[in-house]
Amino acid sequence: MTQVFDKNGLALPVTVIRVGSCVITQLKTEEINGYNAVQIGYSKGQKLNLKKAELGHLKKNGLPPLSHLCEYRVTEQEDYSLGQVLNVDHFQIGQFVNITGKSIGKGFSGNHKRHKFKRGPMTHGSKNHKAPGSIGPGTTPGRVFPGKLMAGQLGAKTITVSKLKILGIDLKNNLLILKGSVPGKPGNLIKIIPSN
């Protein structure tokens, strides 16, 4: 994240995203698959660990090995062709997009950090500073209801941030400048979908 200044001198928090060269690997149609979609492949250049079925799927279409395959629903397929490379030139400044990614994992966390519970009294011999307290009724029903807020895994979930505005596009370096923050840490793989 960084900041840019608009024409009025306001500092706007922005996130700079590198949009990799994504290749269209498959076109799904209403007649064959029951819906219209475009499958896109992306590779960061790391060592690929693909199954033979995935390699055969890409080889059949004359495409190089790609590590990440993702599908996007489309209304019209006339704009797309097999092997077409998608870059930032498909976006416009001022357009709104939805960003989906995996949030930062914070491990096993207690109630205070995970659910913003208040602490207990710190003085007069109190011993429940960060204790969770009672977790359920007594004999009836004699169990803890599902969904009780307790300690556990925090983060590492798929999060979608809606309606982020595109403030800038760098065609040379394939960069998008979005107003606001996106889920995940630097180097995280995210999905960019135009907002309705």
CATH code where residue 41 lies: 3.30.160.810
Output b/e per residue, 109-141; b: 16+ Cβ within 10 A: eebeebeebeeeeeeeeeeeeeeeeeeeeeeee
Q: What is the DSSP string of 40-78?
A: EEE--SSPP---HHHHHHHHHTT----SEEEEEE-S--T
Domain that holds residue 16: 2-46+57-94+165-187
For residue 129, being part of any structural domain is answered with no
For residue 131, being part of any structural domain is answered with no
Per-residue pLDDT of the chain (196 residues; tens, 9 = 90+): 999 999 999 999 999 999 988 999 999 999 999 999 999 999 876 667 888 998 999 999 888 888 889 999 998 888 899 999 999 998 999 999 999 999 999 999 999 999 999 999 999 999 989 999 889 889 999 999 999 999 999 999 999 999 999 999 999 999 999 999 999 999 899 999 999 7
3-state secondary structure of 175: strand
Domains of the chain: total: 1
Instruction: Using the structure block, give the residue that is written with the tokens 């076109």.
Output: 27
For residue 128, being part of any structural domain is answered with no
For residue 25, being part of any structural domain is answered with yes
For residue 89, being part of any structural domain is answered with yes
For residue 139, being part of any structural domain is answered with no
